[in-house]
């Protein structure tokens, strides 16, 4: 088992370019696993954790409903946003400046073979990070992601999640609103959920901006602890 995870910092990068990069890493890990089974070999697979910030973009998961996008092509262009149908789970979501987006490309056979546990660990990483800022975040039953004030009329999502997995190899991941422009969420029905709102860490703390690198450092700390992994910067 290889419990080392290479952290890749991509800065701000186009969504499609990053998706293609994910696919390359994902396929590389899959190919090693297929070859290992075919040749009864034991070549170790790599694990990666990509951090990136995207320009304004809306993405729709494979089970999503296109009617949850409330803009047409011209309106998208006017807002400087793009749109993609993609191969992750979940419905529609928004990515943009001020979000910390993380894409773990993990071979779960290096850790545990349980997709539900994997998603709960991603949620727990964010919950623990928010606790360091004095916020009590929770899971909402039947709704993947991280929420505040669950079970009240003020329930709001602060981190969305959607993943894909094949042969226990993961891709896609989480989008954590840190300094996000929440106005862009008005153009969709976020994650297909009509009666709940979204929020951002800076809004919850009443600050203009939260240092993104500080947030990422906390996320990486909790990620490493939960997965009992060693994170190395690439």
Mean pLDDT of 223-231: 98
How many angstroms separate the CA atoms of 98 and 29, rounded?
30
Q: Tens digits of per-residue pLDDT, 109-134?
A: 999 999 999 999 999 999 999 999 99
pLDDT of residue 225: 98
Confidence band for 29, pLDDT divided at 50, 70 and 90: very high
Q: Any idea where the domains of the chain sit in the sequence?
A: 4-233
Of 161, 21, 46, 172, nearest to 107 by C-alpha is 46
pLDDT at residue 56 greater than cutoff 90: yes
Residue 75, Cα to own-chain centre: how many angstroms? Answer: 26
pLDDT of residue 215: 98
pLDDT of residue 133: 98
Q: Give the 3-state secondary structure of residue 155.
A: coil
Sign of CA dihedral 19, 119, 67, 56: negative
Confidence band for 64, pLDDT divided at 50, 70 and 90: confident
Mean pLDDT of the chain: 93
Q: Which of 52, 191, 198, 215 is catalytic?
A: 191
Between helix 212-227 and helix 115-131 the angle, nearest 10°, is 140
Whether 47 and 110 have beta carbons less than 8 Å apart is answered as: yes
Domain 4-233 sits in CATH at 3.30.930.10
Q: Give the 3-state secondary structure of residue 80.
A: coil
Whether 191 is catalytic: yes
Per-residue tokens: 213: 């690198």
Q: In the block, which residue shows the tokens 């039953």?
A: 141
Whether 33 and 167 have beta carbons less than 8 Å apart is answered as: yes
Whether 18 and 10 have beta carbons less than 8 Å apart is answered as: yes
Query: In terms of C-beta density within 10 A (0-12 exposed, 13-18 middle, 19 or more buried), how is residue 149 classed?
Result: middle
pLDDT of residue 89: 74
Cα dihedral 221/147/201/193 (nearest 10): 130
Mean pLDDT of 209-222: 98
pLDDT of residue 122: 98
pLDDT of residue 48: 98
Backbone angles phi, psi at 88, to 5 degrees: -100, 175
Q: Tens digits of per-residue pLDDT, 131-188?
A: 999 999 999 988 889 999 999 999 999 999 999 999 999 999 999 999 999 999 988 8
Mean pLDDT of 52-57: 96
């Amino acid at each position: 088992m290889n419990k080392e995870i290479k952290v890749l910092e991509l800065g701000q990068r186009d969504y499609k370019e990053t998706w293609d990069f994910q696919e390359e890493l994902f396929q590389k890990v899959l190919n090693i696993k297929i070859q290992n089974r075919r040749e009864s070999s034991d070549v170790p697979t790599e694990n990666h954790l990509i951090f990136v910030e995207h320009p304004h973009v809306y993405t729709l998961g494979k089970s999503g409903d296109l009617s949850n996008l409330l803009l047409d092509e011209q309106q998208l262009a006017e807002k400087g946003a793009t749109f993609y149908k993609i191969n992750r789970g979940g419905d529609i979501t928004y990515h943009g400046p001020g979000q910390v987006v993380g894409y773990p490309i993990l071979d779960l056979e290096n850790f545990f073979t349980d997709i539900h546990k994997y998603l709960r660990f991603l949620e727990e990483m964010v919950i623990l990070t928010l606790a360091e800022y004095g916020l009590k975040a929770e899971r909402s039953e039947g709704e993947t992601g991280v929420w505040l004030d669950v079970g009240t009329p003020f329930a709001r999502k602060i981190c969305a999640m959607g993943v894909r997995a094949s042969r226990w190899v993961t891709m896609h991941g989480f989008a954590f609103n840190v300094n996000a422009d929440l106005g862009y969420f008005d153009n969709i029905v976020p994650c297909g959920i009509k009666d709940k709102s979204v929020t951002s860490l800076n809004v919850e703390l009443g600050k203009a901006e939260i240092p993104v690198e500080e947030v990422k450092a906390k996320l990486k700390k909790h990620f490493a602890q939960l997965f009992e992994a060693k994170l190395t910067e690439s």
